[in-house]
Amino acid sequence: MKTTILYNNSTYQIDLSKPIDISIPLTNNEQNPIAWYQNAPEIDPVTMGDWIGKVSEGKSSTNFNNIFFNPHAHGTHTECLGHITRDFYSINQCLKQFFFTAELISVEPKKVGEDLVITKEQIESALGENSPEAIIIRTLPNPESKKHLNYSNTNPPYLEDAAAIFIREKGIQHLLIDLPSVDKEHDEGKLLAHKAFWNVKDVNQVNDDARFNSTITEMIYVNEEIQDGSYLLNLQFASFENDASPSKPLLYKIEK
């Protein structure tokens, strides 16, 4: 059913019954993506003596699982600048609004030496005159196997810092990408794209004009059927007081 939404003094027609989920679900098997040299997530029933929190075991009326995971390593997650700062900042405090205008673009990273890099020129060309609140970057090629990769020690593509600066200067507040990081896997801790996007000049003493309410969402997956273009983004996440949280970004096609 089409719904008219008033947002930032503009009206949008969307169908709330047709969300487009671009998150990767968290599982405890080989289907789960992994990064940063971690093992797979663990989802196991609580055990206390001979009692097991699993209905199928016949000793519990409920399923009662413990879950061990790392939001940065185990799937779609949204992070705030607290990811790179000495002082603690929580995604739950930094992000208080959850709907945004968004532009989905597809980019094939360029070969630069041994690396594959998303450049400023590619982002600028793909965005054109659009100035959304959020940008969603789908890298090409785009096999479904992205949802199940172990990225550790594979040197995945990344965003050059000039591209991150361009995105920041364009006024884009939220960056979503289908990679484990916007930065190079082994970069000696420089984190140039993270720092450029959040405008963090010193991680030990955060500058007043750093972008406290901006977020980066990594390890999304945007399948082939979803066309590049303009959407409304609903950026959902769990209420963790942590620098990052597992998240569920949903897109809604803007009806003409």
List the 110-112 sheet strands across, edge first.
Answer: 110-112, 115-118, 158-159
Q: What is the pLDDT of residue 244?
A: 98
pLDDT in tens, 86-137: 999 999 999 999 999 999 999 999 999 999 999 999 999 999 999 999 999 9
Low-confidence residues in the chain, pLDDT < 50: none
In whole angstroms, what is the distance from residue 137 CA to residue 182 CA? 10
| Residue 24, both tokens | 């990767």
In whole angstroms, what is the distance from residue 118 CA to residue 57 CA? 50
Q: What is the pLDDT of residue 8?
A: 86
Which residue, among 95, 103, 112, has the nearest Cα to 198 in the 3D structure? 95
Q: What is the pLDDT of residue 256?
A: 66
Q: Quick check: 139 and 182 in contact, CB under 8 A?
A: no
CATH of 2-28+71-253, one of 3.10.310.30, 3.50.30.50, 3.60.150.10, 1.10.10.10: 3.50.30.50
Q: What is the pLDDT of residue 101?
A: 97
Question: pTM score > 0.75 for this model?
Answer: yes
User: What ranges make up the beta strands (E) of 35-194?
Assistant: 42-45, 47-48, 51-52, 65-68, 77-79, 99-107, 110-112, 115-118, 134-139, 158-159, 174-177
What letter represents residue 237's amino acid? F
Domain boundaries, the chain: 2-28+71-253
Pairing of strands 10-15, 2-7: antiparallel
How far from 22 is each of 10, 185, 243, 250, CA to CA, in Å?
Answer: 25, 23, 21, 6
User: What ranges make up the beta strands (E) of 131-240?
Assistant: 134-139, 158-159, 174-177, 215-218, 229-237
Alpha helices (runs of H) in the chain, residue ranges in sequence order: 91-94, 120-127, 161-169, 192-198
